[in-house]
């Protein structure tokens, strides 16, 4: 049996039926299931190697159940995560409240500097009928900026922005590791470098 090494743990969070499983399926299997909706029980895991330049980053994706029944378990899945994709459905305002709840949870319990990606799902529905929108794009964007998150609108049905989202997660992870390695390898403390740079260039008397 071969075991795939996971580089970065990624957790999918959001209200039930918001489209988390569909996002993962679209990204990993390039498909969109049209059959009857089946809610996730507990969580599902899939590892997906993702090419970033010359590097391959394997994302270990935990697709958690959105049902509040499994809320306590979801914490197990985001512990140690490098990225959290917090999903909301812009045609369902309660799902945005739920996304805010998950962001608060991540901020309260975050142990490892987990990066947050705020993901609007089902963009195809809004593109077809704008009156379905219950969450204003700019309100969501403001929220994302407040929490220092990326904000992206996706559709698992059409595939719009799905690859781009996971690619960004992998790239950000690669960049964070690279930044860390550069500082260690060169022996340069970035904080000291900044201080010395400031004292050399900025004289504030
Ligand atoms: N039109 C449209 N429907 C979508 C899209 N993504 C998901 N859906 C539908 O929304 C329903 C719920 O999708 P899931 O991906 O199972 O939702 P989930 O967030 O994983 O749900 P839980 O497992 O209960 O947490 C399904 O009927 C999907 O077909 C999308 O991009 N466009």
pTM of the model: 0.87
CA distance 51 to 39: 30
In a domain, 73, yes or no: yes
Ligand 1 close to Cβ of residue 160 (< 6 A): no
Distance 171 CA to ligand 1 centre (A): 26
Q: What is the DSSP letter of 86?
A: E
Cα of 57 vs centre of ligand 1, distance in Å, is 26
In a domain? residue 45:
yes
Decide if 15 is inside a domain.
Answer: yes
The CB of 19 under 6 Å from ligand 1? The reply is yes
pLDDT computed for residue 183 by the predictor: 57
CATH number at residue 12: 3.40.50.300
Highest mean pLDDT among 5-14, 30-39, 61-70, 114-123: 114-123
> Which atom of ligand 1 has the smallest separation from the CA of 121?
31
CB distance 66 to ligand 1 below 6 Å: yes
Say if 197 falls within a structural domain: no
Burial 131-147 (b: 16+ CB within 10 A, else e): eeeebeeeebeebbeee
* Packing angle, helices 20-29 and 162-186, rounded to 10: 80
Is the pLDDT score of 202 beyond 50?
no
Q: Is residue 70 part of a domain?
A: yes
Whether 156 is in the pocket of ligand 1, judged by its Cβ within 6 Å, is yes
Domain count, the chain: 1
Task: In whole angstroms, give the CA distance from residue 133 to residue 135.
Answer: 6
Q: Which domain holds residue 181?
A: 8-186
pLDDT score of 203 more than 70: no
Q: Is 161 helix (H, G, I), strand (E, B) or coil?
A: coil
The verdict on residue 191 lying in a domain is no
How high is the ipTM of this complex?
0.99
204: in domain: no
Pocket of ligand 1 contains residue 120 by CB under 6 Å: no
CB-ligand 1 contact for 40 (6 Å cutoff): yes
Expressed in angstroms and rounded, the spacing between residue 168 Cα and the centre of ligand 1 is 22
Residue 5: exposure state from Cβ atoms within 10 A (0-12, 13-18, ≥19): exposed
Which residues on adjacent β-strands are paired with residue 11? 62, 84
If we measure between CA atoms, which residue out of 75, 45, 78 comes closest to residue 62?
A: 45
Q: What is the distance in A from the centroid of ligand 1 to the CA of 166? A: 17
Does 202 reside within a domain? no
Say whether pLDDT at 180 is over 80: no
Mean pLDDT of 114-129: 97
State percent of the chain over pLDDT 90: 64
Atom of ligand 1 at shortest distance to CA of 24?
A: 15
Question: What's the gap in Å between 39 CA and the centre of ligand 1?
Answer: 9
DSSP 39-76: ---SEEEEEEEEEETTEEEEEEEEEE--SGGGHHHHHH
Nearest-angstrom CA–CA distance, 151 and 128? 21
pLDDT of residue 110: 67
User: How far, CA to CA in Å, does 188 sit from each of 12, 99, 173, 184, 202?
Assistant: 35, 38, 21, 7, 21
């Amino acid at each position: 049996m071969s075991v795939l090494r996971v580089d970065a743990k990624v957790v999918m969070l959001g209200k039930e039926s918001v489209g988390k499983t569909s996002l993962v399926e679209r990204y990993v299997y390039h498909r969109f299931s049209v059959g009857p909706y089946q809610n996730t029980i507990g969580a599902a895991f899939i590892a997906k190697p993702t090419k970033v330049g010359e590097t391959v980053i394997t994302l270990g994706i935990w697709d958690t159940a959105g049902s509040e029944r499994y809320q306590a378990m979801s914490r197990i899945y985001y512990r140690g995560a490098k990225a959290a994709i917090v999903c909301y459905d812009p045609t369902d305002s309660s799902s945005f409240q739920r996304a805010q709840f998950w962001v608060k949870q991540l901020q309260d319990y975050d142990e490892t500097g987990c990066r947050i990606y705020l993901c609007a799902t089902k963009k195809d529905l809004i593109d077809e009928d704008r009156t379905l929108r219950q969450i204003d794009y700019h309100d969501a964007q403001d929220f994302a900026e407040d929490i220092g998150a990326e904000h992206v609108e996706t559709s698992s049905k059409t595939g719009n922005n799905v690859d781009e989202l996971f690619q960004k997660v992998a790239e950000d992870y690669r960049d964070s590791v690279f930044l860390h390695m550069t500082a260690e390898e060169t022996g340069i403390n970035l904080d000291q470098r900044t201080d010395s740079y400031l004292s050399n260039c900025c004289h504030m008397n």
